[in-house]
Amino acid sequence: MKRSICNLLILCAGLVTSGWAAGDTERQRVTESGNVMKEILQVPDKGIPGGVLDGSKCVIVLPGVKKAAFGIGATYGRGVMTCRTGNDFKGPWSPPVMMASSGASVGFQVGGEATDFVILVLNDSGARAILKNKVKLGADASIAAGPVGRTSEAATNAAMKAQMLSYSRSRGVFGGVSLSGSTLRPDGDANNNLYGSKVSSEAIVNSQGVTMPPEAQPLIDVLTSATVNKEQGHQQPQP
């Protein structure tokens, strides 16, 4: 009897520990995404133009996306998305939605390279689509390499014809990059782990039944500092 009780306690402890480990994984992903966004926004002269970021409905950060294999290489990544709240996506930045990406590229590649990606969703239809389903970039949603730096503001109007703009940072080099052919989707299991119960992406963005994870606050703070309503003018991020 004592042995059965002991085994039961060990099993319960293992389940609790597994739950903590899963939640820790998601919280670490949120923290890494916030660090990437902060580092990118601290170099505005060479980073994302303020006018582009101000007009974004959602921001997706995929830290450390992996590229592996020779010949036909696969890419995969995990990250977060935060959207402006409200039916018109004009409110404050929302709690994070966990995201997953995958794709393929052709050509000779040496495995192991990791790249940070930032994707800006520019209109309501693009935001609604990615909240509900897996989206193939370039097919289900148009995407273009994002303009970089203040001097690129003149090119913004042309780029804004796309539903999304994408950027990459690898080995310290930051610039616009095309992610056409890759897919993005809400990571449902990761969302459930982060928030402790089954929750939809729409509920997260509308803060229905969820609270902002503490690990997400730096990401939200840096985006809030870097974006204001257009009628108030653009505000640079705080160091």
Span 121-135, pLDDT tens digits: 999 999 999 998 899
The tens digit of pLDDT for each residue in 47-74 reads 898 888 998 999 999 998 866 544 445 5
- Residue 132 belongs to some domain of the structure: yes
The answer as to whether 49 is a domain residue is: yes
pLDDT of 30 strictly over 90: yes
pLDDT at 21 > cutoff 80: no
In a domain, 192, yes or no: yes
Looking at residue 231, its pLDDT comes to 36
Q: Residue 17: which H helix or E strand, with range?
A: helix 2-41
215 within some domain: yes
Residue 239 lies in a domain: no
pLDDT of residue 171: 78
- Give strand pairing partners of 170: 173
Q: What percent of the chain has pLDDT over 90?
A: 48
pLDDT tens per residue, range 149-198: 865 554 555 456 789 999 998 877 888 888 888 899 999 999 999 999 99
Cα dihedral sign, 118-121-77-177: negative
Residue 66 lies in a domain: yes
- C-alpha torsion sign, points 161, 162, 164, 165: negative
User: Would 196 be classed as within a structural domain?
Assistant: yes
Q: Decide: 203 and 213 in contact? Cβ < 8 Å.
A: no
Pick the more confident residue, 137 or 75.
Answer: 137
Residue 114's domain spans which residues? 8-229
Joined together, the tokens standing for residue 145 give 């390499």
Residue 87 CB partners (closer than 8 Å, separation 6+): none
In a domain, 225, yes or no: yes
> How many domains does the chain contain in total?
1
